[in-house]
Amino acid sequence: MESVKFAETLIEELSIIVDTPVGVDTDLLGDAGLDSFGTMQIIVFLEEQYGIQVLDDQFNINDFASVATIARWALPMISAIEFIE
């Protein structure tokens, strides 16, 4: 998975979820107001879009602090799926 493409897709989805423009380093939890409900939306999006399984009890809220933060843990999982497939 190309990281730029992943970031663009995630930014597009996040901008809809939080209803405000989002960039790679936007503070999602502060400036963008991403709440627990939105976090769940992101998890569902990643699972359905990329086929990964997010074991959310292994994460804390800071793992959703920005697009860059999400990419840091999500991209390796997505790459592993693509490798298997």
Which residues of this protein are in contact with another protein, per CB under 8 A?
Answer: 16-17, 19, 35-37, 39-41, 43-45, 47-49, 56-57, 61
Looking at the Cβ atoms of 4 and 16, the one nearer to another protein is: 16
Would you state the structure tokens that stand for residue 23, as one six-digit string? Answer: 């960039």
CB of 2 to another protein, least distance (A): 22
Cα(68)–Cα(56) distance, rounded to whole angstroms? Answer: 18
Residue closer to another protein, measured from CB, 48 or 85: 48
User: How far from 1 is each of 32, 74, 77, CA to CA, in Å?
Assistant: 26, 10, 10
Residue placing its CB nearer to another protein in the complex, 4 or 53: 53
Cα–Cα distance between 68 and 77 in angstroms, integer? 15
